[in-house]
Amino acid sequence: MAQGWGLGALINLDHYGHYIQWHVIQISVANLIVIILMVATFVAALFAPFPGRRNRKGTK
Partner 1 sequence: MSNAQIERQWTSRLRHRVVDKLPPERLLPDTQPAYVASWIYVFGVTTMAALGIVILTGIILALDGPQWWHSSSLGHFVNSMHLWSVEIFFFAMVVHLWGKFSMAAWRGGRSMTWVTGGVTFLASILAGFTGYVSQTNFDSQWISTQAKDGINSTGGGAFFNVLNLGQMLMWHIVLLPLAAVVLTGLHVIMVRVKGVVPPFDDNAEVSA
Partner 2 sequence: MTKKAFRPDVDAPDYKGAYVPYDIIKEGAIAVLVVLILTAALAIVFSSPDEKAVTIKTWSNADAVDFAQTAGDELTGTSGVAGYGAPYNNGGESQHWGFLSPEKWIGVHIAINTTNDFVINPLSDQPAQPALTKALNQWKSASSTTQAAWGAAYSKVEANLTYTNGQVHIPTTAAGPIPVLLNYVTQMARSGALDQALIAQNGFYTTNYTKPLLFISDGTYFAGLATKQHLAGDQWGMMNETGQYPGQAWLWLYTFWYQISPYNTSASGDFLVWGTMMILTALLILLPFIPGLRSIPRRLKIYRIIWREHYATEA
- Tell which residue, 1, 4, 5, 33, has the closest CA to residue 20: 33
The binding site for partner 2 (CB under 8 A) comprises 1-6, 8-11, 13-19, 24-31, 33-35, 38, 46-47, 50, 52-53, 55-57, 59-60
Taking the complex as a whole, the smallest distance from the CB of residue 5 to partner 1 amounts, in Å, to 5
Q: Of how many residues is the chain composed?
A: 60
54 binds, among partner 2, partner 1, none (CB under 5 to 8 A by kind): none
Q: Given the rule CB under 8 A, which residues bind partner 1? A: 5, 8, 34, 37-38, 41-42, 44-46, 48, 50, 52-53, 56, 59
